[in-house]
Amino acid sequence: MKNRLKVLRAERDWSQADLADRLEVSRQTVNALETGKYDPSLPLAFKIARLFDQSIETIFQDEA
């Protein structure tokens, strides 16, 4: 699954650690999400969407 996390984070000038603090996950989790190695759970996806004030589908796109 592709996502725009890195772009959204860069727009706000946040480091991976800053975003991790806001999402209450580890920096490694943010890195894994950005590099597509890990797809978030629904609760985490909703949390990300709320943080960036966007819908889940504008942040995460199915590659199929």
Partner 1 sequence: MTVASKFPKFFATPKGRVVAGLSLAGGVVGFSAGMLIGKLEKGGALSLETLGWSDILSGLIALMLIATGLMVLLVSFSRKASGRLLDPLSQRDATRAQASYYRQQGVVALLAGLMLSAPVLLLAAQDPPPFELAAAVMTGIVALFLLQTLVNLTLWFRSDELVRRVISETGAVTFWILQGALFLWAAGEKLSLLPALSLWDAVSLMMAAYLLISALVSGRRGLG
Q: Which residues contact 21 (CB under 8 A, 6 or more apart)?
A: none
Report CA Rg, the chain.
Answer: 11
Q: Is 29 in the site for partner 1 (CB under 8 A)?
A: yes
Q: Is 10 in the site for partner 1 (CB under 8 A)?
A: no
Window of 5-13, 18-26, 48-56 that interacts with partner 1 by CB under 8 A: 18-26
Window of 5-13, 20-28, 55-63 that interacts with partner 1 by CB under 8 A: 20-28
Q: Is 1 in the site for partner 1 (CB under 8 A)?
A: no
How far is 64 from 49, CA to CA, in rounded Å? 21
